[in-house]
Amino acid sequence: MQKPIIFTDRLKLRLVELSDTAAIHEIYSFPEVDYFNTLGIPENIEDSIKVVRQTVSAHEQPDIKNYCFAVEDQETNTFLGMAAIHLGSPKYQSGEIWYKFHPNHWGKGYATEASLGLLQFGFETLSLHRIAAGCAVDHKASIRVMEKIGMTREGMFRKALPLKTGWSDNYMYAILKEEFKQ
């Protein structure tokens, strides 16, 4: 498969490149982004370089399991954030999505639009049967995104997320291919 690019009404999702490192580092350095993030704030740019190099290297494998996309505004090419889909075992034809956006771009519908693009890519291009996502139970914005894109809350994992504030319960959402087509 050639390098995938996903277009939505306003967004372009392309695979993360090394040139995105500074923008990714900036996003992960915001305390408000880190609040529901289990990775923590990077100590320095070198930490972010390592992560981005691993991501880019994973994209170069013949059997890609993790598609991590840079999300850009189509008109201005402004880097808004990231959205990704991680593939599970081929037997189960499943994946899991996630997203992170720069705080300046919160509340504008970008996470919803990018997530819908990921669902379409997962179901139509990757032929997945099921796509899941999860979030901390107090992460109201992510809950809204998952519900807007048609995902169903399937359950809760108790104290599954090691956040800076302590262990958090995690809601699990999913959508099936036949539900997405409706």
Q: What per-residue confidence (pLDDT) applies to 182?
A: 56
What is the sign of the dihedral through the CA atoms of 96, 143, 37 and 99? positive
9: domain CATH number is 3.40.630.30
Query: Could you list the residue range(s) of the whole structural domain that residue 124 is in?
Result: 5-180
**Domain count across the chain:** 1
Comparing C-alpha atoms, which of 93, 63, 71 is closest to residue 15? 71
Enter the pTM of the model. 0.94
**Which amino acid is residue 11, in one-letter code?**
L
**What separation in angstroms does the CA of 155 have from each of 39, 77, 134, 145, 172?**
23, 37, 10, 17, 5
Q: Are 157 and 169 in contact (CB under 8 A)?
A: yes
Q: What per-residue confidence (pLDDT) applies to 154?
A: 98
User: Token pair of 23, please?
Assistant: 């923008």
Q: How far apart are the first and last CA of the chain?
A: 27
Q: What is the pLDDT of residues 82-102, one digit of tens each?
A: 999 999 999 999 999 999 999
At 22, is the pLDDT very low, low, confident or very high (cuts 50, 70, 90)?
Answer: very high
